Each structure stands twice: as C-alpha cells, then as structure tokens.
C-alpha cells in the first residue's frame, strides 16, 4: 500500500497521527491579574518543531515582570521559561530529539547558524524572542488557542502549560536519569547565575566578590564564585532572612544595606580595602547596578549585570567609574551556548559537582501557581 501511495504523500505516515492536545495551562489574559487555569488546545508541531510534556517548571522574576508590565509582552500569553519535560512528538525534519527524550526548553536557543552562535564569544542566538515582544513561533503564528482565541508564546518556551511547542533549536536533550523536578532550574535560574560567575566574569581563585540580590539566581552566582575558588564572597540583600541560605552555599559575609548610614558601595569598598574584584547585580534595579559598579576595584574590577531591568528605565552614572579601568558587562543565560552547555551542566549535576536542592524553597501543584507568585513577591 505504501509503495502505491508514497509518490502522493510528501511526508511520513507517522506524522498523520499528530493531533491537537487539550490540556491545562495558566493563561495570563491581562497585566496585573492572576493566572487563570484554562483548558487550551496545543497544535501539533510543524516542521522543525517539538511538542513537549512539561513535568516541572520554576517561577522566575522575569515572568513576574510581564505580569506587572515591567517587561512588555502581548496578551493573552502563557508565561514560563524554566522547565524540564519529555518529548511527546516531533515535526518533520527534527533530528536532534525523538519522542520519549528528556529535555530542557531553552529561552535562549542555539540555531548554530547566526553570527552570535558562530562566534565563540557570543551566546545570544538571533532566533531568541528576548527583547522582540513577538510572542509567536518562527512562522508568525501561535500553537496555543483558548476559548477560540490565539494565545501568545513567551520567549519561545511557554512552560506554564502541560504541553508546549518549541523550535528544535530551543530544546536540549539531557541525561535520561536526570530528575526533572531538580534540573528544570538549569533552564534559567541556576545556569544564569552560575554562568555569570564562571563564564561572563571568569572569577579567579583567591578573588573577592560581591553579590547583590539573594534570590535563586543570586544564590547560583554564589555557587559559581565558590566553585571558581573565590576567597571572599559578600552577599548583599535587604532581606536578612536570606543570609542563612547564602552562607550555606558559600557566602563568607552577609550585609544588609539598611544597617548602614552610608551608601552600600562605600561600605563594600571599606570592607575590602579598595573594592571587590567582581560584583554581580542580580536584582534588576538601576540604583543597585550603579552601586555594584562603584564597589568594584577602581582599576581592574569587573561588574556584571544579571538582573533584568524594567522596560523604559534609563541609567545615569559617573563616567569616571569606567575611565579608571573598571569593566561593566551584561550576562544573558550566564553566557552559555545553551544547546551545548545544558546537557553538560545536567551531567555535572549528576556527578554532584554542584547542588540544586537548596535553591528549591517550595514545591507546589501546578494549579497553585498564583500562590507560588505570592511567595516570590513576599521574598519567600
């Protein structure tokens, strides 16, 4: 039968069984409103696309930025970008993964063809949806519908749903033995912080570091600084409840700016006898970005911006801070080339080269996603 028909059918028969999947998703219909758990339709993957069953997803401040309007995206939308799951089906031409493979979605894809992917210094693939506010797949359409309305994608991932569709360049196959409820953090928070220290700043043994912000990403920076051999890691946060976890993961000092009558950069400069070698801003505030720059050693200090700043905010600083020799850098996804790095980071986790468990404060059922965001906003 196939012999008789194959000239008329331009694709394998297996693709004919791909169906629309109905599942639960957390839809954000408009800004500053709670998520609504809805039944959505998830279309089959098109050419070079992959449909993934999401097993675990993390809550990130960047998702909350969309809710508050600080990060402008089109509505309605399915947020989420830090996750792990299992491939359910693949579209025509997909060769990197197959149904049943464990994967981590990549909000920074790796196409392997653009200028940034081809350059050893770059990792921000031009195919990323970061900064474009597009909310659509490469062909300009969406794979999600709800109540007859098209629902936008977020950063090419959209993981706040039981099933999602991604381009194959935005999926990394990982160790089949990896615990998805742990390694989902490698999809964003952990890799971003850990890489900011190891890849972007290239922290050296014996160096001094300051980390502004002790959320999951800031704690991951501390892990990276410790792995790199930093001799002093100063953790900075206005929430002193976070100090115990920071010390557990490698911070040598913890300071609360509220405890001082002088600017925090002056406190850090005095503490270190002239400024730290490396500083990291992991909050997303322009005032702490300039403070992190100012607390660096004036001639050779390096400061890395990791936190996502609110849209339309501008930064003002004294150019002498840079003229004397300091370096100011930005870091997206820790500087890692995602598709290459994520499987290796998962392998390192499996070899116990770093821990992830302390970064997980709560585990909630998917339907309690709004409670999860309340915990995020209250610093818990």
Report the catalytic residues: 60, 62, 65, 81, 188
- Most distant pair of Cα atoms in the chain: their distance: 84
CA distances, 336 to each of 115, 170, 259 (Å) = 15, 13, 36
DSSP string of 146-195, one letter each residue = ETTEEEB-STTT--SBSEEEEEGGGEEE--TTS-HHHHGGGGTHHHHHHH
> How many residues are present in the chain?
380
Separation of alpha carbons 163 and 186, rounded Å = 19
Strand positions, DSSP E, 231-336: 232-236, 253-255, 278-281, 302-305, 327-330
Residues 6 or more apart whose CB falls under 8 angstroms from that of 352 comprise none
Separation of alpha carbons 12 and 265, rounded Å = 62
Quote the DSSP letter at residue 96.
Answer: S
Separation of alpha carbons 359 and 2, rounded Å = 53
Which residue do the tokens 């570091």 mark? Answer: 209
Radius of gyration of the chain (CA): 22
For 30, counting Cβ atoms within 10 Å of its Cβ (0-12 exposed, 13-18 middle, 19+ buried), the class is exposed
User: 118 near 143, Cβ under 8 Å?
Assistant: no
Question: Phi and psi (nearest 5°) for 212?
Answer: -90, 110
DSSP string of 35-78, one letter each residue = -EEEEEEEPPP-TTEEEEEEEEE---HHHHHHHHTSS---SSEE
């Amino acid at each position: 039968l196939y012999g008789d028909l194959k000239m008329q059918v331009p694709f394998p028969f297996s693709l004919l069984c791909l169906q629309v999947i109905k599942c639960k998703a957390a839809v954000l219909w408009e800004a500053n409103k709670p998520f609504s758990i809805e039944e959505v339709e998830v279309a089959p993957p098109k050419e070079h696309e992959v449909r993934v069953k999401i097993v675990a997803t993390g809550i990130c401040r960047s998702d909350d930025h969309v809710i508050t309007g600080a990060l402008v995206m089109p509505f309605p939308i399915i947020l989420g970008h830090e996750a792990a799951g299992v491939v359910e089906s693949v579209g025509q031409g997909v060769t990197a993964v197959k149904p049943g493979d464990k994967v981590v979605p990549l909000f920074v894809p790796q196409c392997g063809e653009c200028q940034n992917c081809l350059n050893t210094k770059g990792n921000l693939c031009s195919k990323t949806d970061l900064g474009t506010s597009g909310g659509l797949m490469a062909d300009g359409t969406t794979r999600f519908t709800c109540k007859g309305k098209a629902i936008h994608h977020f950063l090419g991932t959209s993981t706040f749903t039981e099933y999602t569709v991604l381009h194959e360049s935005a999926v990394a196959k990982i160790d089949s033995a990896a615990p998805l409820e742990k390694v989902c953090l490698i999809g964003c928070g952990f890799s971003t912080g850990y890489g900011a220290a190891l890849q972007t700043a290239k922290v050296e043994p014996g160096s001094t570091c300051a980390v502004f912000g002790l959320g999951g990403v800031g704690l991951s920076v501390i892990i990276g600084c410790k792995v790199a051999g930093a001799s002093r890691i100063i953790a900075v946060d206005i929430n002193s409840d976070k100090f115990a976890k920071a010390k557990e993961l490698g911070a040598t000092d913890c300071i609360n700016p509220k405890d001082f009558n002088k600017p925090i950069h002056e406190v850090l400069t005095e503490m270190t006898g002239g400024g730290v070698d490396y500083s990291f801003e992991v909050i997303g505030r322009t005032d702490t970005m300039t403070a992190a720059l100012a607390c660096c050693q004036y001639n050779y200090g390096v400061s890395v911006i990791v936190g996502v700043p609110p849209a339309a905010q501008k930064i003002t600083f004294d150019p002498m801070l840079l003229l004397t020799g300091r370096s100011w850098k930005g870091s997206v996804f820790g500087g890692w080339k995602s598709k290459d790095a994520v499987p290796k980071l998962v392998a390192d986790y499996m070899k116990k080269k770093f821990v992830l468990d302390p970064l997980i404060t709560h585990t909630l059922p998917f339907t309690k996603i709004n409670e999860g965001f309340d915990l995020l906003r209250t610093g818990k």
